[in-house]
Amino acid sequence: MLTTGIKGVKTVTVNETNTAAAMGSGELGVFATPAMLALMEACAAESVKPYLDADSSTVGISANIQHVAATPVGMTVTCESELVAIDGRKLVFKLTARDESGLIGEGTHERFIISKEKFVSKTYAKLNKQ
């Protein structure tokens, strides 16, 4: 059953593919903000997946994050998520990201529960409207 308090953890190692320079969000070889956001979204999504039926999934609808410290290539970043609110099909998560030296990012993220089939059908119907 989907209830507040569900927690998730997801870890990634900073490498050449997830740096600001590689992702085009900056010039330096440090963990990119878009990579941190992707880690946070994946952490939140994966934490609630076991509580959804087979035809359901979640999609991100908003994020309010701060990237407060840089992480060099070779270090590990661990995200922790907690489901803090449920409003109908909208889920609200509190997020933190840390490397071996401490906090590097934090914020909130909202996801919406969707029917996979209905969502994909509606999305691809846009192609017929052009």
Task: From the candidates 11, 17, 27, 41, give the one annotated as an active-site residue.
Answer: 41
Q: Which of 19, 58, 67, 106 is catalytic?
A: 67
- 76 catalytic? Reply is no
Active site includes 82?
no
User: Where does residue 21 fall: left (phi above 0), alpha (psi -120 to 50 degrees), or beta otherwise?
Assistant: alpha
The length of the chain, given as a count of residues: 130
Phi, psi of 13 (to 5 degrees): -95, 135
Q: Which of 102, 118, 85, 107 is nearest to 41 (CA)?
A: 107
Catalytic residue among 33, 78, 96, 108: 33
41 as an active site residue: the answer is yes
Which residues are catalytic, by number? Answer: 33, 41, 67
